[in-house]
Amino acid sequence: MTKRQFGMRGWKPEQLGDLSGKNYVITGGNSGIGLEAARMLGDKGARVTIACRNEDKAREAVSELKQKAPSGAYDYALMDLASLASVRDGASQIRATRDRIDGLINNAGIMMIPARELTVDGFETQFGVNHLGHFVLDAALCDLVEAASGRFVSVASIAHKYAPGFKFDDLMLERGYTPTKAYAQSKLANLVYALELNRRLEKSGAKSSSFACHPGWSSTNLQTTGPGAIAGLVLTLANALFAQPAAKGAIPTVLCAAGDDAEAGGYYGPTQFRDFKGPVDRASMTRAAKDEAAAKRLWDESEKLTGAKWSIL
């Protein structure tokens, strides 16, 4: 059993301190968990950049945040995680407006695409967007996170438990693709990457650190925009029975991004009802998530696939 850190009630966003003068970047911050996390951070005075591929949606999110959490400051950068060129362009936009990032939050994702699709760069789309796009973004902005002694935050999922490991001879699932297999592998990659990044940061003597979290089962548009019609209907019905609001699903992200009590290298999320919901604390992970040999190979493969290099490691 995973050892609890925060007692029976878990960690609450009310425990956040003043974040005035702090800078946060969150991918997919225009809706769902990302938008709620941005609101919570802004409510404490933070400056939050929404990284989003759609300018109209980014503008709408910034407008909504200004109304709901006027203590914060908000802007946006355009990037599409399905295109490494777009990710690098977006990183350049962010770099032009600040010299430090206190929290770089890898939140955006897609879920259970019915048929195998490829990104602009030829990657299986869920692996490409959920993992490789964020890997490139973090590498591109790592020096700004380091300058703030900041945090890299990767939003994983309880779905990682359905991935037994990586098939390194077929990471793009050319053989035997299924929507659930691809999604589970991508979320396992998020968690494995976050843990490996923290090990590398510690080994290099860096001042920045890495954290991972999961939102439990939270009601967002993720369940309806990615899956096919039948799977989407099933997930919509399951949402009504099991899901918690997006605002509760965002609490682990906020803890990892800005909570004083979060421990580097930790994995946090809801801890009741099969980790679907409940108090936020240290979360359970599978043996595959703790496989350091696989983590090193995933890192090496990610570098080879993307050409991304880390200036701080």
What single string gives the DSSP state of each residue in the chain? -PPPSS-TT---GGG----TT-EEEEETTTSHHHHHHHHHHHHTT-EEEEEES-HHHHHHHHHHHHHH-TTSEEEEEE--TT-HHHHHHHHHHHHTT-S--SEEEE-------SS--B-TTS-BHHHIIIIIHHHHHHHHHHHHHHHTT-EEEEE--GGGGG-----TT-TT--SS--HHHHHHHHHHHHHHHHHHHHHHHHHHT-S-EEEEE---SB-STHHHHSS-HHHHHHHHHHHHHHPBPHHHHTHHHHHHHH-TTPPTT-EEEEEETTTTEEEEEE----TGGG-HHHHHHHHHHHHHHH----TT-
pLDDT for the residue 3: 81
In tens, the pLDDT along 235-290 reads: 454 444 455 788 999 999 999 999 999 999 999 999 997 888 999 999 999 999 99
CATH numbers and ranges of domains, the chain: 13-215+246-303 (3.40.50.720)
Kindly list the catalytic residues: 183
pLDDT over 80 (residue 154): yes
In tens, the pLDDT along 197-214 reads: 999 999 999 999 999 999
In tens, the pLDDT along 78-129 reads: 999 999 999 999 999 999 999 999 999 999 999 999 999 999 999 999 999 9
